[in-house]
């Protein structure tokens, strides 16, 4: 009787089950240079992204670079580092869209997360928490100053237009104000006011903006008709001109605290005149 021959590669003590795959773990990922570098780049990009206002432009630039390298068939020359190069482009773009305090805060968050991953060894987490507080305070102060500077710029954005649209003669300023108020015409009124004069009008009318202020003043002088011939003429004073509007509907519309209108030349190179401020009626 023939003796059965064992199958090839299968000995008496061989394990018939297939080899088990090595389980994935962070230690395995960070053990290689490419894995550790990729993890650092990904974490840096994700931490910086919120500080850039969730801008997609850096991500689009990184993806565009990957597509370009693929089309030019240059990805093989990088030997597995092509994704890392795209990630570096994303991180650089995000850093360009933010500032040093955002970088510091993102780095502090990264240190804190690294420390939390190593608990119960808490020293790195404590350092990260302290850095997060310090960089967070700096980031908040920097953001507040940037917002204040932007508001200051926006508050003066209308000054060049006011300069270009002022009246051609000082004697035309008060008639233009009165005609604008009585007709509820916003543009002729608001284009004549410098920022300080506009602030005074808003305070007197308790209006949020110049458009609303003209509406409030128009309601105070309903049906009034302005006769330009009867209006007083401005007199020259130091720094410009002044015209007494206390006996005109202007004092009724704007209030006697703004009854005297101060006029100045907006730009010495052009003959245009605007309202530089007000004075109370005597």
Measured between alpha carbons, how far is 98 from 147 in angstroms, rounded to an integer? 14
Residue 139 lies in a domain: yes
Helix, strand, coil percentages (3-state) for the chain, rounded to 5, are 60, 10, 30
- Shared domain for 140 and 185, answered yes or no, is no
What confidence tens digit (pLDDT) does each residue in 143-167 have?
Answer: 777 777 766 655 554 444 454 567 8
pLDDT of the residue at 39: 74
pLDDT of the residue at 163: 47
- Shared domain for 131 and 118, answered yes or no, is yes
Cis-peptide, bond into residue 120, ω within 30° of zero: yes
Determine which helix (DSSP H) or strand (DSSP E) holds 267, and give its type and residue range.
Answer: strand 260-267
Residue 90 lies in a domain: yes
**How far are the Cα atoms of 9, 96, 105, 147 from residue 138, in angstroms, in the given order?**
67, 18, 9, 14
Q: Which residue has the tokens 């389980």?
A: 23
Q: In the listed set 106, 123, 155, which residue is the last one of a domain according to the structure? A: 155
- Shared domain for 118 and 211, answered yes or no, is no
- Shared domain for 149 and 31, answered yes or no, is yes
Measured between alpha carbons, how far is 5 from 257 in angstroms, rounded to an integer? 116
- Shared domain for 144 and 223, answered yes or no, is no
- Shared domain for 228 and 116, answered yes or no, is no
Q: In the listed set 117, 135, 155, which residue is the last one of a domain according to the structure? A: 155
Question: Cβ distance 262 to 279 under 8 Å?
Answer: yes
pLDDT of the residue at 206: 93
What confidence tens digit (pLDDT) does each residue in 79-136 have?
Answer: 778 888 888 888 888 888 777 888 887 878 777 777 776 667 778 778 878 888 888 8
- Shared domain for 35 and 142, answered yes or no, is yes
Measured between alpha carbons, how far is 89 from 81 in angstroms, rounded to an integer? 13
- Shared domain for 120 and 171, answered yes or no, is no
Q: In the listed set 100, 123, 155, which residue is the last one of a domain according to the structure? A: 155
Average pLDDT over all residues of the chain? 79
Residue 113 lies in a domain: yes
Residue 9 lies in a domain: no
Number of domains in the chain: 2
- Shared domain for 124 and 196, answered yes or no, is no
- Shared domain for 179 and 206, answered yes or no, is yes
- Shared domain for 127 and 206, answered yes or no, is no
Q: 3-class DSSP state for residue 237?
A: strand
Q: Which domain holds residue 125?
A: 26-155
Low-confidence ranges of the chain (pLDDT < 50): 14, 24, 157-161, 163
């Amino acid at each position: 009787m023939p003796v059965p021959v064992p199958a090839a590669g299968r000995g008496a003590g061989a394990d018939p089950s297939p080899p088990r795959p090595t389980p994935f773990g962070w230690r395995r990922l960070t053990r290689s240079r490419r894995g550790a570098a990729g993890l650092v780049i990904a974490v840096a990009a994700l931490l910086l992204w919120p500080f850039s206002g969730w801008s997609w432009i850096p991500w689009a630039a990184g993806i565009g670079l990957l597509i370009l390298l693929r089309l030019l068939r240059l990805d093989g020359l990088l030997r597995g580092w092509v994704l890392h190069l795209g990630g570096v482009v994303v991180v650089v773009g995000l850093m360009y869209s933010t500032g040093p305090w955002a970088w510091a805060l993102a780095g502090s968050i990264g240190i804190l997360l690294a420390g939390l991953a190593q608990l119960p060894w808490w020293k790195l987490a404590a350092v990260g928490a302290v850095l997060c507080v310090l960089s967070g305070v700096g980031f908040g102060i920097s953001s507040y100053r940037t917002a204040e500077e932007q508001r200051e710029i926006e508050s003066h954005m209308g000054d060049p237009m006011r300069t270009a649209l002022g009246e051609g003669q000082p004697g035309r300023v008060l008639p233009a104000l009165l005609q604008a108020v009585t007709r509820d015409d916003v543009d002729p009124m608001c284009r004549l006011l410098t920022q300080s004069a506009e602030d005074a009008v808003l305070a007197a009318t308790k209006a949020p903006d110049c458009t609303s202020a003209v509406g409030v003043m128009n309601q105070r002088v309903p049906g009034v008709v302005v006769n330009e011939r009867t209006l007083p003429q401005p007199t020259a004073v130091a720094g410009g001109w002044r015209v007494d509007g206390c006996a005109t509907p202007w004092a009724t519309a704007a209030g006697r605290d703004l009854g005297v209108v101060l006029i100045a030349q907006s730009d010495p190179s052009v003959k245009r005149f605007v309202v530089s401020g007000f004075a109370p009626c005597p």
